Amino acid sequence: MFMSGLDAEERELYPGSVDRDSTLRDSPVNCAMPTIDCIFCHPQAESVIWSDARCRVLLVTDTPFAGFCRVVWRDHVAEFTELDRASRDHLMSVVAAVERSLRDLLSPDKVNLASLGNMMPHLHWHVIPRWRDDSHFPDAIWAAERRRGVPRELPPDFVTKVRKALDPLR
Ligand SMILES: [Zn+2]
């Protein structure tokens, strides 16, 4: 079957995005110029909880996985190795700080880091807190659901504390 699990996974992740089927996959998209159909170059609605000149951190709200964050590089770059070393270091410092915040604030059983970009080839990292009783554990969140997950709420000061943890990285 041509369609991989990752394609389905990312379609689930970006339910508001247009179905770009073969057009995007067949086109050279790894350029630095913003592309008109890229939801990270042209966001419709996203919950930005922190940003600096190079990247931004989103709280993913259309998910049952409370605390799911996404770190998005500002420029339209497809691959991690298109960044210079300083930029790579900065991006991963932000990813690490988000992971640290999720661990400190939510005490998950595990944190998943993922960078896929098959459907949306604009460099971004998913930082996902996981619990053994969530709907998909121990599988990736994009796999088939295993059970009815235990719902979780974020603490009221969650965003404030994540921002505070990230501010030294500016
Ligand atoms: Zn883009």
Q: What is the CATH number of the domain that holds 24?
A: 3.30.428.10
Count the alpha carbons within 13 Å of 49 in the hemisphere toward its beta carbon: 23
* Per-residue model confidence as pLDDT tens digits over 66-109: 999 999 999 999 999 999 999 999 999 999 999 999 999 999 99
Domains: count for the chain: 1
CA of 94 relative to ligand 1 center, distance in Å:
19
pLDDT tens per residue, range 26-46: 444 445 667 778 999 999 999
Range of the domain at 89: 5-169
Q: 57: CA distance to ligand 1 center in Å?
A: 15
Query: 126 forms bridges with which residues in the sheet?
Result: 70, 114
Detail the DSSP E strand segments found in the chain. Answer: 48-51, 55-59, 69-73, 110-114, 124-130
40 Cα–ligand 1 center, Å: 5
